[in-house]
Structure 1
Amino acid sequence: MKVCVVGLGYIGLPTALMMASHGVDVIGVDYSEKVVSELQSGQLTFEEDGLEETFQSALDAGIEFQKDYPKADLYVVAVPTPYDKDTKKIDAGYVVSAVNSVLDVCDPGAIVVIESTISPGTVDRYVRPAVEDRGFEIGRDVHLVHAPERIIPGNMINELVHNNRTIGADSDEIAEKVKKVYQSFCEGSIAITDIRTAEMTKVVENTFRDINIAYANELAKICRMAGMDVYEVIKIANCHPRVNILSPGPGVGGHCISVDPWFLVGDYPELAHIIRQARTINDSMPEFVLNRTYEIMKANGIEDVSRVGFYGLTYKENVDDVRESPTLQLLESMERHLCANANSVKVYDPYIADDVVSGQMHDLRDFFNSVDVVVVMVGHDEIKENEDLLKDKIVLDTRKCLSHTEAESL
């Protein structure tokens, strides 16, 4: 079976490489000429543990990259699914556009698998009508499937192999065909269900985590006001066999947890009360960290914001992904409060080589030497391995990742 993976970003590229390296005939497609050109030249477009080796294996197996959609038996759509920040509803435009491009070239009987995370009912509301408007009969001319991705930057290759998967399809026969392709590399269990259930399960998974994080973040605010150590409270509470509270942090970023719950809020505004509140709490954390930074500056007699440095730009440790980054959210908030002075703060991240914000530095020692206050926004291994450089600094550790440095906490 020839497979075309549409969208060669953080989800599509690892999926395409994994399939190809396990014997599947794969062509990767992306609208970006730059992405396609770099991949054709043997250059990866982002860093990820184990991705280089998988890339080389896929190249050896004959994977191809191109901008034009080819004829294939199965198309895996892994394009972005943003949401409208006003209505909180999914923007299915990229998915529908990709499906239309598939319909331009596919032969009768082709299978279109949507891996992109979508809100429950997206296939029924947007994809099916788009296919039918083109004169295609679903179930005969083209088959629709939803197999939501379940990987996260920093552990993609391992999760592609070991995570359980879900395949939602209109018929068990088509689902089994798709399952066989995913079984080429996936060692986890693969559940078969209908499309709407598959849509819901992925969104529910990420929403559950978002709510748990929000609970921890709200506890952090309560404990701060009450003068208690939230980490000690959570540690003891988690000794209970049925309690598992996550750790508080400076906010929630990334392509899933910070976005997917809004799909349910947008579609069910009169019902998704806890989900909305969790999102509101987590979105408030960068502002909370900013206020804590102001408190620390005032307590130590520091007025010059240029003496403050924020360590970490990515949304999680040891990756180069800045999507929905809490640090970027904090800096935007700072600009609203301080206007031009916000550009005076220092920012550093070992995984971000290009300048994405003002005041960004690219040498760890220079960064530490230029500031008096260090706000640790991301627990990269680098800072854990260089705690000695913080011994004379005032530190706010929002991730509770430093074990030897005396630091303020959330």
Structure 2
Amino acid sequence: MQFDTVCVIGLGYIGLPTAAAFAGRRKKVIGVDINQHAVDTINRGEIHIVEPELDIAVHAAVKEGNLHATTRPEPADAFLVAVPTPFKKGTDAGSIPTPDLSYIQAASDSIAPVLKKGDLVILESTSPVGATEQMSAWLAEARPDLSFPQQAGEESDIRIAHCPERVLPGHVMHELIENDRIIGGMTDKCAEAACELYKTFVRGECLLTTARTAEMAKLTENAFRDVNIAFANELSIICDKVDISVWELIRLANRHPRVNILQPGPGVGGHCIAVDPWFIVSETPEQARLIRTAREVNDSKPDWVIEKVKAAAADFLLSNPDKTVKDITIACYGVAFKPDIDDLRESPALRIAVEVSRLSFGSLLIVEPNIKKLPDSLSGCTLVDVTEKIEPDITVVLVDHKEFQNGGIRKGGWLGRLIDVKGLYE
């Protein structure tokens, strides 16, 4: 099949690098996003997110005329949907969050008018099982003049597939190319067409399967990691209770040849690991007992950290009877969901900082080297440069950015009472 023009819907942390990867192989790429600022930035050859090497790739693609951004889809040979798939939180205590497919539906509605016979549509967004079929149903409803796999099987006018991304923020440009890709088609020909497209730039192996299996594979990968992180987070709470260094304990336990415990932290964030396991739980609540428990353990870890902050504040006031809560200065180091990126999605560090900001302390200083402006949820707080000397009464280390490592935080001066949930200063 000829895929001369590729249209990528969603120019975020996955869509933009993918668009740049295709453009780097001389494909004509149309990038679509509802964010006018993102569109304008990309068309200047610049980027609106933090990701190593992406700026160079986008600049080159735009300069050579292989990538342009717009707010509306244009005709193409292949369409990649890379939009958010958040979850809806239940209103009742203990209720299970459910997937929100509204962004996928909106993307389907936007590309339907420009589809033509022979086109390929790929859902890259991490999705619950059955989402690719649902997308195909929405497209079929909008375009009754075309046939789709659920109607005509291998003879359909439009090919539909699911290919979840499997990349690590901070290493996206490398992993997009080198990692294996799971490609699930609604039919064999759909999978083969998608495979041909991805081989444009993917050096890893393209593994063909069904759309449903591809959807479940991505959810399984992230649920596996979530369970392992939950074990580490629960272990850290236990060790704190019995006065043991969890960092030393994990180092020693990991000397066993068949043990590999991950590192604990303030919780789990990002659009994948903090979200995807709920997609499994929402579909099979009676069967996904371990996966649900892991989610609940990780979701509760920020509350534990907040209680540590309250305890440190109480200790400070006990030691300084002439002071009040309004005299306490707290510094939170890091609000991104992982080190060395600017992504705040589902960040437990951000959630902790927001909750601390509501506790009526004198001031809350935020040290986050990867952002230039605090989100609205932290209005009233102060964004501090990592090189600025500060003297907080309580220091909370939430993210292990490279700037904070190797004594980087101590260079700022006095730490006060230290709450280090990343083990940088154990």
Q: Is the 8 A contact 2:337 2:347 kept in 1?
A: yes
Q: Please name the residue that 1:69 is paired with.
A: 73
Bigger shift: 160-169 or 51-60?
51-60
**Aligned 1:378-397 pairs, distance under 5 A:** 378-384=399-405, 386-389=408-411, 392-394=414-416, 395-397=418-420
What residue number does 1:162 align with?
A: 178
Give how far 1:258 is off.
Answer: 0.5
Name the SS for the 2:214 alignment partner: helix
> Alignment partner for residue 30 of structure 1, among 33, 46, 64?
33
Which residues in structure 2 correspond to 1:346-361 (within 5 Å)?
A: 346-356=365-375, 357=378, 358-361=380-383
Residues 165 and 191 in structure 1, CA contact (< 8 A), matched pair in contact too: yes
- Give 1:8-407 correspondences, 5 Å limit: 8-62=11-65, 63-86=67-90, 87-124=96-133, 126-134=134-142, 135=144, 136-139=146-149, 140-300=156-316, 301=319, 304=325, 306-334=328-356, 338=359, 341=360, 344-356=363-375, 357=378, 358-366=380-388, 368-384=389-405, 386-389=408-411, 392-394=414-416, 395-402=418-425, 407=426
Structure 1 position 221, deviation (Å): 0.9
Q: What CA deviation, in whole Å up to 9, does each residue of 1:274-333 have, x standing for no partner?
A: 111111111111111111222333344365463211111111111011111112211343
Unaligned runs of 5+ in 2: 91-95, 150-155
In the other structure, the counterpart of 2:153 is none
TM (normalized to structure 1)? 0.92
User: Partners of 1:66 and 1:351 in 2: how far apart?
Assistant: 27
Contact 1:21 1:61 in 2 (8 A): no
Equivalent position amino acid for 1:138 in 2 = F
Taking the aligned partners of 1:299 and 1:335, their CA distance within structure 2 comes to 19
231-240 vs 5-14, which deviates more?
231-240
Q: Quick one: which amino acid aligns to residue 104 of structure 1?
A: P
Q: Quote the offset at 1:364 in angstroms.
A: 2.8
- Separation (CA, whole Å) in 2 of partners of 1:221 and 1:382: 26
Say if 1:194 and 1:71 are closer, same or farther in 2 by CA, change over 3 A: same
More deviation, 66-75/301-310: 301-310
Alpha-carbon distance, 1:391 to partner: 5.5
Amino acid of the structure 2 residue aligned with 1:151: V
Residue identity matched to 1:380: H
Aligned counterparts of 1:174 and 1:365: Cα–Cα separation in 2: 53
Unaligned runs of at least 5 residues, structure 1: none
Q: Percent identity between the aligned chains?
A: 37
TM-score, structure 2 as length reference:
0.89
CA distance in 2, matches of 1:360, 1:258: 27
The equivalent of 2:152 in structure 1 is none
Deviations 1:326-364 (A, max 9, x none): 12211343366x3xx057322221111113213122323
Structure 1 stretch displaced more, 2-11 or 376-385: 376-385
Q: Following the alignment from structure 1 to structure 2, what is the Cα–Cα distance between the partners of residues 189 and 100? A: 32
SS at match of 2:87: coil
Aligned length: 398
8 Å Cα contact 1:5-1:76 kept in structure 2: yes
Q: 1:388 to 1:227 in 2, by over 3 A?
A: closer
CA distance in 1, matches of 2:330, 2:338: 21
The Cα of 1:390 is off from its aligned counterpart by: 5.2
Q: CA RMSD in A?
A: 1.9
Q: Which letter maps to 1:381?
A: K
Q: Is contact 1:331-1:342 (8 Å) kept?
A: no
Q: 1: CA distance between counterparts of 2:411 and 2:73?
A: 51
Distance change >3 Å, CA 343–CA 5, structure 1 → 2: farther
Any conservation in 2 of the 1:76–1:115 contact (CA below 8 Å)? yes
SS at match of 1:5: strand
Distance 1:354 1:4 in 2: 31
